[in-house]
Structure 1
């Protein structure tokens, strides 16, 4: 169960519910060879895309990205957005056994060990580098629909505490400030996803 699949399901459920939102897969914002990471291309492209969405009236963003739940990465991304978003971070997790099974289905031959090693390293980095308020959602033996539904309910509850009415249908007049969402991939739970929803600061 990958972060993009969960993000797409969140998008599908919000669309059916009439909740106005947009989706950005952060993995593609600076995909290049040689790497353009040192030039801050992901942040620059996010700023441009979010500005365009904002002009069209979007205030909720589902952001999907491997490292977006890490504190320093979240800070850079929200600074690039420029409107003091409130971020709700979600980390998708699973057991080592589930991770091994999922990776074994995807990777064959000599590449499996390398992927397992990278997965374990990323899991440690995400678990140690994410902030305490990050929500961890287990994905073992669960459907994508169930995981996406739990994340939406958690986001709705979190936003309600801010009194913003963020998840109301798009025709509602409640909650006019910016909202955003982010997703991340974890290592050894095979997946870690982060959903972020910015509300006005």
Structure 2
């Protein structure tokens, strides 16, 4: 069985490598725009499923993992900033406030679809303009939802963080992935399980 991560994200690839299972990455190339009145949580879940379905269309015999993350600030979906100015505006808004990061993951063999969403509640410190500027110049987190690169210097932006899965905020909730893989007979603690017919 071929295991495919439906992502071009280096962060998700690095996370999945922790499980020490052989896998390949394929970029799903989907439209990630929210639908009218779609909540941030529902957007993350829908995109995780759509990414999985997109790769299954090309690799119907594979076991596919799709994931997406959406930052939720006062009910508004906050995506990747894409630029220094947008990241600066995001972090200025978050300063002293709580942001909920919804990380959804879907695993499917084309017949059965498993889906979980792991929320991470992040309380941001009150941040000065100089602190934000230094962080952005150091990390350049323009490809990260909400500009918060918690696996690096972004952790210093936070006053507190709550989640059932510490890897969720980085982009792929590995505990949920392990649960789902075991449902399909793949156990990261028994790598030979991936070779079963």
Which TM class, normalised by the smaller chain length?
A: 0.3 to 0.5
TM-score by length of 1: 0.37
Report the TM-score when normalising by structure 2: 0.38
Q: Which structure has more strand as a fraction of its residues?
A: 2
Q: Which has the higher contact order (CA 8 A, sep 6+)?
A: 1
Query: Which has the larger helix fraction?
Result: 1
